[in-house]
Amino acid sequence: MMVIRWRQSVLVIRVVALLGTWSAAAVDFAVDVAPLLHRHCLTCHDDRRQKGNYRMDVIGLLFEPGDSNTWPIVAGDPAGSYLWRLLVTSDPDDRMPQNADPLPPESLKIIRQWIEEGASLGGVRRDASLTSILPRPEYPSPPEVYPQPYPAQAIQFSPDGRFLLAGGVHELLVYSAATGEILHRVDGIAERTTRILATPDDRGYILCTGSPGRTGELIRIPPDFSTIIPLALTSDSFFGGCFPADGRHFACVEASGRIRLFKYPGFVDERSINAHADWGMVLVPAWDTDRERQVLFSGGRDRSIKAFDWEDGSLVMNMVGLPAAVTGLAVRPDGKTGSALLEGESRLSEWDIDKDRAGRGFDPQQASVQGRPAVLESYGKLALCGTTEGSVLMLSADHSRVEKALKSADSPVVAIAAHPDGSMLAVCHSDGVIRIISMDSGMVIRNVPNLPVAPPDGDRSR
């Protein structure tokens, strides 16, 4: 097994006096200040929330007054800078960040010194986004051996079917699809991997990742799993990555509810869409055959399903007020209707791009399957529905009946991946085991323990 310990290195030379004060070394905005603003301030002062009508998501806006009409940063004068005064005030109603602990003294020293030195941007463009200039985060190492099974939220076969990829904690695990042996452990990534996609041009894999409440990152891992190529950062997690049919674009949704569209393969930001008032959870691209347009469907924790024209980002469907958060979508071949998985609901819901209300969709009990829908994925012209009692149901093109039912375990299904040749499915259950199932016979071909778990006798050798 190859264990790949990938670590980014940013060498910042600092001389710190014994009493903890900073030396005369200049503060670097991108390296020292931007990460603090991103971590402590951006949640309330991005383009969506703009508390106090003050924004920090674009560098130049840091220097523009909000509702206070007071300059937030005055070069060379911390006392005259409204931002600094809010960071250090003793009044809990005014102190920033609100409803959170005060910034630690070492962070305050950095910001004060930066203002005293003239609040220089060090060559950073004022029209740059804050997240675009951040140094890549340092992530904790994954556990050498996991204390208990951890179900992967994302699994994916390689395009040639040789490998099975699964998200661990701060790592990607790569298995032999033939034997279940762990071949690679790629670390240096965020806590959770929410989606794994093979690129359309054999450049490897795109991972949507996140450490909730701290940072989210899009990364690419090449086919040999030798390194990590960082692509984009956000202040929380990325979900629902997808490629449209042309393979020249990529879309994902942030926990903030914002959809981001990139040009591929360069991952240049093309457009942002403020889609959901709460977490965006899922994205599915489709071709609307009636109108001959590429459409992007999204579902979120704000209990809504929305559709956007990929070409100009315009809203073409806005279905709100659903009974629960939307955690899965599958589109029918017409590209304008489909099914939605609503959290905790006993059946799927149907939606239509030409209507503003959802209807009652497929119920697993129609197929004598107990349990609720737990996972919903498009599968060619069909759909795959995993249930809380461990079955995977292959639904017909109109999502009205079961073409095939596969039962691999008694624990809830967490993630599903189809082999490229259609011969088998990989199904991860809540017990942390990935089971590879024959599509023909429905038999379990092999069990793949998702993570290296400590044995009961305490032997922690690998």
Full DSSP string of 136-183? PPPPPPPPSSBSS----S-EEE-TTSSEEEEE-SSEEEEEETTT--EE
Measure the CA–CA gap between 292 and 286, rounded to whole angstroms. 10
Strand partners, 184: 2, 174
Distance CA(396)–CA(390), nearest Å, equals 19
**Residue 177 clears pLDDT 60, i.e. is over it:** yes
Residue predicted with more confidence, 186 or 21: 186
Cβ–Cβ under 8 Å, residues 6 and 228: yes
Report how far residue 244's alpha carbon sits from residue 309's, in angstroms, rounded to the nearest whole number.
12
Question: How sure is the predictor about 459, in pLDDT bands with cuts at 50, 70 and 90?
Answer: very low
Start-to-end C-alpha separation, the chain: 10
Buried b (16+ CB within 10 A) or exposed e, 96-117: bbeeeebbeeebbebbbbbbee
CATH topology of domain 155-449: Methylamine Dehydrogenase; Chain H (2.130.10)
Mean pLDDT value across residues 212-230: 93
Of the chain, the percentage scoring pLDDT greater than 90 comes to: 66
Distance from C-alpha of 403 to C-alpha of 21, rounded to nearest angstrom: 69
Between the alpha carbon of residue 224 and those of residues 204, 205, 284, 307, 399, the distances in Å are: 8, 10, 28, 36, 38
Query: What confidence score (pLDDT) does residue 11 get?
Result: 31
Kindly report, residue by residue over 83-139, the tens digit of the pLDDT.
999 999 988 888 999 888 899 999 999 999 999 999 999 999 998 888 778 888 889
Q: What is the pLDDT of residue 10?
A: 36
Residue 187 has pLDDT above 50, yes or no: yes
Q: Is the dihedral of CA 392, 394, 398, 402 positive or negative?
A: negative
DSSP class of 52: G
Q: Where are the chain's structural domains?
A: 29-133, 155-449
d(CA 376, CA 394): 10
Q: 286-294 long-range CB contacts below 8 Å, 24 or more apart?
A: 286/331, 286/335, 286/336, 286/338, 287/245, 287/335, 288/334, 288/335, 288/336, 288/353, 289/333, 289/334, 289/335, 289/336, 290/334, 290/335, 290/336, 291/336, 294/244, 294/245, 294/246
Judge contact between 289 and 334, C-beta under 8 A.
yes
Q: Which of 9-13, 329-333, 363-367 has the lowest mean pLDDT?
A: 9-13
In whole angstroms, what is the distance from residue 305 CA to residue 340 CA?
Answer: 8
State which H helix or E strand residue 88 sits in.
Answer: helix 82-88
Asked if pLDDT for residue 14 goes beyond 60, the answer is no
Distance (Å, whole) CA 84 – CA 75: 11
Average pLDDT, the chain: 88
Give the mean pLDDT of 350-358.
85
The H or E element that residue 113 is part of is: helix 105-116
Residue range 71-80: mean pLDDT, rounded: 94
**Residue 62 to residues 30, 83, 153, 173: CA-CA distances in angstroms?**
13, 9, 37, 40
300-309 pLDDT tens trace: 999 999 999 9
Name the residue type at position 114: W
Structure token pair of residue 279: 């977490």
Which residues lie below 8 Å from residue 458, measured CB to CB, with a gap of 6+? Answer: none
Between CA 313 and CA 142 the distance in angstroms is 38
Provide the residue type at 132 as one letter: S
Q: State pLDDT tens for residues 415-449.
A: 999 999 999 999 999 999 999 999 999 999 999 87
Q: What is the pLDDT of residue 359?
A: 77
Distance CA 73, CA 70 (A): 9
Q: Determine the Cα–Cα distance for residues 36 and 55; give it in Å rounded to an integer.
A: 15
Confidence of residue 450 (pLDDT cuts 50, 70, 90): low
